[in-house]
Amino acid sequence: MKNLIDIKSLSKEQILEILELAEKFENGTAVSSCQGSHVALIFCENSTRTSISFEMAANKLGIHVYNFDTNKSSLSKGESLKDTIENLYEIGIQGVVIRHSESGILDKTKKEVNCQIAFINAGDGNNAHPTQALLDFYTMRKHLGSVEGKKIAIIGDIRHSRVAHSNVDLLNKFGAKIYFCAPKYFEDATQEVIFTKSLEEALKDADVAMFLRIQNERLEDRIPLFDYIHDYGLTTKKLQQFAKKDVLIMHPGPVNRDVEMSSEILDGEYGKVILEQAHNGVFVRMAVLDLLLGKQ
């Protein structure tokens, strides 16, 4: 493993290796093998959870972090990402964590550059967000053990969601049964999943219900929000009526409160798993950084 660009490029063995190392970092039985490395965070889109989580993971591993200010960088003088990254490598940066609005930009740039820097995808357009899928998988396994044969419902803005795409890639590898649930304007027919007609159908017997954020910043047109909330917003009542009692409610965050789900759910017992996702992300990212930059 030299880069982490998407889930598709990983084997099941590689994914399990990441998760096992993450577990060791969480319970304190692994130590950093990349102390003193240098990693740049290049976030060309807004982020809190992902960027702070990578920075925390790096700090815990003893990695020096360079917060690249994209507005004040040579990128804003018109330099290409290729040239910027080749220079960063010469300066001593060993890995770049990139978030960018353009789908596929990491793959494209990786092919252009002529150096051994590690590329780590922190979300590119609506293409992939591999560390999110890995931390989601880590969270599911803690609660469910294996996901094989389990029903995972993914609900909401699937079309614009790199999180959904990376989760589908990962969960399909491990034999989960994935169900999509979305209005027409959020559908994505390109994925290998089972399509449902209603939230009721999606929630029925689901082991996991993963709600996705409406990404207002990616929408071309306004959506009928009132209808969306009525049809797809999770309330305590719908949860009790349609879902198993031990269903896992997940969300990559930030949640649009009282849109994807009610504040009552978010602040209650079911909402705790969503915070646990943020918590688990740090150990998964420690594992990724350590495998890419370290000596193990």
Please state whether beta strands 118-124 and 151-155 pair in parallel, antiparallel, or not at all (unpaired).
unpaired
Find the helix or strand (DSSP H, E) in which 68 lies. Answer: strand 64-68
Q: Which residues contact 204 (CB under 8 A, 6 or more apart)?
A: 242, 243
Contact flag: residue 49 with a copy of itself (CB under 8 A): yes
The yes or no reply on residue 64 touching a copy of itself (CB under 8 A) is yes
Q: Residue 59 CB, nearest distance to a copy of itself (Å)?
A: 5
Among 144, 219, 223, 255, the residue binding a copy of itself under the rule CB under 8 A is 255
When the beta carbons of 202 and 271 are compared against a copy of itself, the nearer one is: 271
Binding status of residue 28 toward a copy of itself by CB under 8 A: no
Q: Which of 27, 28, 29, 72 binds a copy of itself (CB under 8 A)?
A: 72
How far is residue 104 from each of residues 122, 159, 167, 175, measured CA to CA in Å? 12, 16, 17, 26
Pick the closer one to a copy of itself by CB: 100 or 151: 100
Cα 113 → chain centroid: 25
CB of 52 to a copy of itself, least distance (A): 6
Distant-in-sequence, close-in-space partners of 143: CB < 8 Å, separation ≥ 6: 248, 273
Residue among 25, 43, 137, 228 that touches a copy of itself (CB under 8 A): 43
- The residue range among 57-65, 136-144, 147-155, 218-226 that interacts with a copy of itself, by the rule CB under 8 A, is 57-65
Question: Pick from 282, 284, 287, 293: which binds a copy of itself (CB under 8 A)?
Answer: 282
Closest CA to 183 of 207, 162, 202, 205: 202
Distance CA(72)–CA(70), nearest Å, equals 6
Residue 250's alpha-carbon distances to 59, 88, 276, in angstroms, are 27, 37, 9
**Residue selected from 55, 124, 157, 260 as contacting a copy of itself according to rule CB under 8 A:** 55
Question: What is the largest distance, in Å, between two alpha-carbon atoms of the chain?
Answer: 59
* Chain residues 137-176 in contact with a copy of itself, contact rule CB under 8 A: none
In the list 3, 33, 86, 125, the residue contacting a copy of itself (rule: CB under 8 A) is 86
Which value, in Å, is the radius of gyration of the alpha carbons in the chain? Answer: 19
- The answer to the question of residue 267 lying near a copy of itself (CB under 8 A) is yes
Whether the CB-CB separation of 266 and 258 falls below 8 Å is answered with no
The candidate with the shortest Cα–Cα distance to 186, out of 223, 238, 235, is 223
Site string for a copy of itself, 213-252 (x = CB under 8 A): ---xx-----------------------------------
Which of 12, 20, 35, 67 is close enough to bind a copy of itself by CB under 8 A?
67
Note whether 296 and 265 are within 8 A (CB).
Answer: no
Q: Which of 256, 258, 264, 294 binds a copy of itself (CB under 8 A)?
A: 256
Handedness of CA 8, 14, 18, 20 (dihedral sign): positive
The piece of 4-12, 25-33, 40-48, 131-139 that touches a copy of itself (CB under 8 A) is 40-48
Q: Give the residue with the Cβ less far from a copy of itself, 53 or 127.
A: 53
Give residues in contact with a copy of itself (CB under 8 A). Answer: 38, 40, 43, 46-49, 52-53, 55-56, 59-60, 64, 66-69, 72-80, 83-84, 86-88, 90-93, 114, 216-217, 253-257, 267, 275-276, 278-279, 281-282
